[in-house]
Chain A
Amino acid sequence: MTSNARSDERIVAEDHQFRIGGRVEELYAGAVHYWRLERDKWSDILDKVRSLGFTAISIYMPWEVHEIERGKFDFGSIDPRKDLDAFLTLAEAKGLKIIARPGPQINSELTWFGYPLRILADPELQAQNAQGGRTVLTQVPRPIPAVSYAVDKFFDETALWFDAIMPILSKHQYPVGGLISAQVDNEMAFFFNINAYASDFCPASIKRFRAFLEGKYGSIAGLNAVYRAKYASFADVDAPRSFSATTRTDLPAYVDWIEYRERYLIDSMKRLADMMRERGLDRIPLFHNYPHPLGPGGAASGITAPYNLMGLEEVLDFVGFDIYSRKELYEHVKTVTSYVVGSSRFPYIPEFIAGVWPWYLHPGDDKDEAFVTRAALMHGIKGFSRYMLVERDRWLASPIRRDGRVRPENAAVFSSTNKVLKDFDFKSLRRQADVLLLANRDYDRLEAASVLISYPGDFLESQISLSEYPNFMTTSEETFGFAEPVQTAKNDWFAAFYEALSSGGQTFLLSDTALPADRLPRYKAVLLSSFEFLGATVQKKLLDYVKAGGTVVVGPKLPSLDERFAADTTLLDAAKAGGSSVVSVVNREAATRYAIGKGALVVVQEIADVEAVLGVALAGAGVVPVRKNHPKLDVTIHRDPAVNGKAVVFVANPTAQPIVADVGIGTSVSKVSEVWEGKPVVITAAGWKDDFAPYTIKTYIVEA
Chain B
Amino acid sequence: MLHENPLMADIDVDHWRNLQSLLLESAKEKRRIIVIHEGGKILKFAHSAKAAVVRPIDKVTDVHKDAEAIYDANVATTDLVVVIERGASDAYFKAVQNAWTPADDIDVYVHRAFTLMGQYPDGIVVFPGPASYRLGLQWRLGASYAEVEAAVHAFAKPNSSAVFGVFEGAKLWTTLVLHFDAARKIDVVTTVDPTEIKADGGREAVVAEVTEWVSKRYGTVSLGLYSDTAGAERFLKAVDKVKALAELRRTDALIATPLPAPLAALIKLA
**Chain A contact residues, CB within 8 Å of chain B:** 111, 117, 120-121, 129-131, 133-136, 138-143, 145, 242, 355-356, 358, 361-363, 365, 391-397, 401-402, 452-456, 460-467, 472-477
Contact = CB atoms under 8 A, between A and B. Distances in A.
Contact of A363 (B13, B96, B114): B13
Contact of B9 (A145, A394, A474): A394
- Which secondary structure characterizes the binding site on chain B? mixed
Contact of A133 (B26, B28, B97): B97
B31 to A, nearest CB: 12
A473 B97 contact: no
Contacts of B13: 355-356, 363, 365, 396-397
B10 A401 contact: yes
A136 B106 contact: no
Interface stretch (B65-73, B86-94, B153-161, B251-259): B86-94
B97 A358 contact: no
A523 B33 CA distance: 42
B119 interface: no
B44 A460 contact: no
12 contacts: A142-B106, A143-B106, A355-B13, A356-B13, A395-B9, A453-B84, A460-B110, A463-B136, A464-B124, A465-B30, A467-B28, A473-B44
B20 interface: yes
A161 to B, nearest CB: 20
A396 B113 contact: no
B110 A138 contact: yes
Of B30, B34, B117, most A-chain CB atoms within 10 Å: B34
B81 interface: no
A456 B44 contact: no
B82 interface: yes
Contacts of B32: 465
Interface in B1-31: 2-14, 16-17, 20, 24, 26-28, 30
Contacts of B145: none
Contacts of B96: 136, 456, 463
A308 B24 CA distance: 35
Interface of B: 2-14, 16-17, 20, 24, 26-28, 30, 32, 34, 36, 43-44, 46, 48, 50, 82, 84, 86, 89-90, 93-94, 96-98, 100, 102, 104-106, 109-110, 113-114, 117, 124, 135-137, 189
A466 to B, nearest CB: 7
Contacts of A141: 2-6, 105-106
A455 B137 contact: no
B135 A464 contact: yes
A121 B104 CA distance: 12
A380 to B, nearest CB: 29
A468 to B, nearest CB: 11
A362 B9 contact: no
Contacts of A135: 97
A143 B20 CA distance: 21
B32 to A, nearest CB: 7
A472 B32 CA distance: 13
B136 A131 contact: no
Contacts of B100: 134, 136, 143, 145
Among all A-B residue pairs, the 4 with the closest Cβ atoms: A465-B27, A461-B137, A396-B11, A397-B13
A584 B182 CA distance: 78
A103 B11 CA distance: 27
Contact of A465 (B26, B86, B89, B93): B26
